[in-house]
Structure 1
Amino acid sequence: MKRHVLLFGLVGGVLIAILQYTEYRFVVIEHSVEMYTALVALLFATFGIWLGLRITRSRETIRERVVVREVLVPADTLALEPFVPNAAQQQTLGITARELEILTLIARGLSNREIAEQLFVSENTVKTHCARTFDKLGAARRTQAVQRGKELGLLP
């Protein structure tokens, strides 16, 4: 009787081992494509989350730095009388009063949006006036237009 129990136990163990091996083979070998796909998807999802967190954290840590410098102007250079633009140059170049007004606001450092708000016009109107003024002054950028306006006596 002990022999039969031992034999049945041994046969049962071998059968269980065969079943485990076939189950392993079925899961790993037969479904390997699905397993690798899931693994790759998991890796990409993890990388995407990590990258997203890193990008959003870096944007939060960027702070705007404003540098304020005090510029001393000698008292003798301060004009007591208001500046009058050179009308002859203005007429020669064909710059209108509105274009000169916008050029003055550009010289003060205002953006197109700020100029539009101050003059109660659209931002596109300001862009049009800027483009025409730049063409008349032969300037490609705002700083060139301001410099040229000062050279011609249109700006203080």
Structure 2
Amino acid sequence: MAPVRIPAIWKRAAFYGAVLALGTLLLQWLDYQRIARSHAGQIYDLLLAGGFLALGVWLGIRLWGRRPAVPTTFDGNPRAQAALGISPREMAVLAEIAAGHSNKEIAARLHVSPNTVKTHVARLLEKLDARRRTEALRKARELGLVP
């Protein structure tokens, strides 16, 4: 196959096109230099702000980002549970108290009446030797009954 010959007029057109593109690039570069010199302080401020933004986002993700759930092997201290005579249902009520739920919410979650929850709470207070739910919760945490 014979080599393709490009006519001289196309070579000249390509040369002039390349010269015009280079000239346009040079003019754009000079315009950029003028803008960069006349607004140097603002450009530095923008770069500094961008750097601090990136640093803040990175620190935020690093410090307060979601951490993967660590599988825990919390057993609820069965020895203390048996020593105090706390039933499994009372443990369920204690876990709900630890979650911050009210008696009505606990009743709805465990599918029992609010009076039954009150009875379980009263027995827990008695068994943990506490006068209030917060005191019972503190003692339960000290004993390792709830996390």
Percent of residue pairs bearing the same amino acid type: 48
Task: Report deviation, 1:74.
Answer: 9.9
Q: 2:116 aligns with which of 102, 105, 125?
A: 125
Equivalent residue for 2:101? 110
Equivalent residues in 2 for 1:48-127, closer than 5 Å: 79-127=70-118
Cα distance in 2 between the residues matched to 1:82 and 1:92: 21
Give the aligned residue type for 2:83.
T
Equivalent residue for 1:31? none
Matched, 1:154 2:145: yes
Cα distance in 2 between the residues matched to 1:84 and 1:73: 28
Q: How many residues align?
A: 84
1:42-85 deviations in Å (ceiling 9; x for gaps):
xxxxxxxxxxxxxxxxxxxxxxxxxxxxxx69969x64224211
1:23-57 deviations in Å (ceiling 9; x for gaps):
xxxxxxxxxxxxxxxxxxxxxxxxxxxxxxxxxxx
* CA RMSD, 1 decimal: 2.1
Cα distance in 2 between the residues matched to 1:82 and 1:125: 30
TM-score by length of structure 2 reads: 0.53
Give the aligned residue type for 1:134.
L
Equivalent residues in 2 for 1:2-21, closer than 5 Å: none
Give 5+ residue unaligned stretches, structure 1: 1-71
What secondary structure is seen at the aligned counterpart in 2 of 1:139? coil
Change (3 A) 1:82 1:127: same
Give the aligned residue type for 2:140.
G
Point out the structure with max Rg over C-alpha.
1
Task: Report deviation, 1:122.
Answer: 0.3
Give 5+ residue unaligned stretches, structure 2: 1-63
